[in-house]
A and B are shown apart, each in its own frame.
Chain A
Amino acid sequence: MADILEQLEQLRVTERRVAMATLVAARGGSPRPLGAKLFVGEGGRLVGSVSIGGCVDARVVEHGERLLRDNRSERVTVTVDDAEAQELGLTCGAEFDLLIEPISLAGSDPAVTAYESAVRISRSGHTAFVVTTMATGVPARVVYTDAYDGPQQNVFVERIAPADMLVLVGASDVAAALSRLGHTLGLRVIIVDGRERYATRDRFASADDVLVGMPSELVRPFLVAGAFVVLTAHDYKYELPILREALRAPVRFVGMLAGRKRAEAVRALLREEGLSDADVARLHSPIGLDIGGREPEEIALSIAAQLVAVREGKPIARRSL
């Protein structure tokens, strides 16, 4: 889930002009959220998607190539024929509206400038709103910070929120694999450890921050609403000081890599220190969905799957104890 700036960076390697297709309305259900984008490069490169693939994206690519040649913008409707879908037993009949516009990657294209500004705002911890007016032939955009309470008609409003944070304590191989997966899932990944030989840029190239020092102090600023805190240290020296605070903080998820017996022992120590049963019950440990697998990448995958389930509010998110 690369953000739009990362997508544009990918495109700039080979493309000078692209058609940007934005999903602005859907009827009959949509697998992708409104605002999803598919870029069609003049040189043929494709980045992103507005559906889960198949015929919709293919038709959008055709429209994109046409509008790039004509150098103009258009609101396009793509219909997945219901009768055809029913006949095949595939009930994906739906209609999608897309705003498709040519943008330049070489100069200071106003659309690129607007999204760059919005992503900078979201990376600074604020929510950006990109408001696109579609009444005229050429889409025009204004970017707002934190709130937009203007008209909703004849405009398309995209909310670009700061990425959810994944704080990984313990720069282990599991953390390295989970850091890569977290980045792919669009999370802001923070690595924390007390050991500088482990918590290196080399091992955590895709992480947003790699912090070395007193872990319980380094973690503190990140114990905020929405954050995922995952302890992969497998060492009580980091677990206990961090859990004391994290389980009382408004974070979304606290998980600890441990077997059942060890997890119970840590819970007992936390209760002994005065944490309430409700606080202790917030701890997910053992962590990860039970998919089997013993390699660091497999364990990381099971944890990443659990984080997605938590984010989506699925009951599978809590593993039975």
Chain B
Amino acid sequence: MTMPYGATVLEHFRRPRNQRTLDRPTAAHEGFNPLCGDRVRIELEVEGAVIRAAAFTANACAICTASASLLTERVSGESVDVASRLTDEEVLADLGADLPAARRLCAILPVRALRAALAGLRRKA
């Protein structure tokens, strides 16, 4: 299988990391693209100010799935503060792909879900 968007996307789509549900998530949010139908739910287990575990469930395209895989790897063990400040550009850079404009939303859907999950956590606090 070839992938026009590069080896990282292909690797994380075929062998996604953290694709599971958490037993006791403290924060979660499901993001979706109403037109293409991508759906990704980010779950977090936050203890104090640290994300102890991050996981995702996706019915999504390869780019979105790979992005969620990379994102959950990146924020597991990270502070909530740092994870909250993660930018779209950083997520796109992690994918190492030259995505056309039409596919950028696929890549940033997971990080938007992450931000929404963390915002929900702050509202609960």
Taking beta carbons and an 8 Å cutoff, which residues of A are in contact with B? 193-198, 213-217, 233, 235-238, 241, 269, 272
Verify A196–B59 contact, CB threshold 8 A: no
Say how far B118's CB is from chain A's closest CB, in angstroms: 20
A215 contact set on B, CB distance < 8 A: 39, 59
Residue in B35, B57, B64 whose CB lies within 8 Å of A217: B57
Enumerate 9 A-B pairs (CB-CB under 8 Å) in ascending A order. Answer: A214-B59, A217-B57, A233-B37, A235-B37, A237-B38, A238-B37, A238-B59, A241-B58, A269-B1
Contacts A194-B59, A272-B14; is A214 near B39 (CB within 8 Å)? Answer: yes
B-side interface residues toward A, CB under 8 Å? 1, 14, 30, 32, 34-39, 41, 57-61, 64-65
A213-B39, A214-B39, A214-B41 given as contacts; is B34 within 8 A of A237 (CB)? no
Q: How many A-B contacts are there with CB distance less than 8 Å? A: 44
**Known contacts A193-B37, A194-B39, A195-B35; A237/B59 CB under 8 A:** yes
The smallest C-beta distance from A274 to any residue of chain B, in angstroms, reads 12
Enumerate chain B residues within 8 angstroms of A269, measured Cβ to Cβ. 1
Interface on chain B toward A: helix, strand, loop, or mixed SS? Answer: mixed
Top 8 A-B pairs, shortest CB-CB distance:
A194-B37, A195-B37, A194-B39, A215-B59, A214-B39, A237-B61, A237-B60, A241-B59
- The interface residues of chain B lying within 8 Å CB-to-CB of A197 are 34-35
Chain B residue numbers with a CB within 8 Å of A217 are: 57
> In the complex, A235→B36 CA distance in Å?
10
Min CB distance, A20 to chain B, in Å?
47
Q: Which residues of A contact B38 (CB under 8 A)?
A: 194, 237
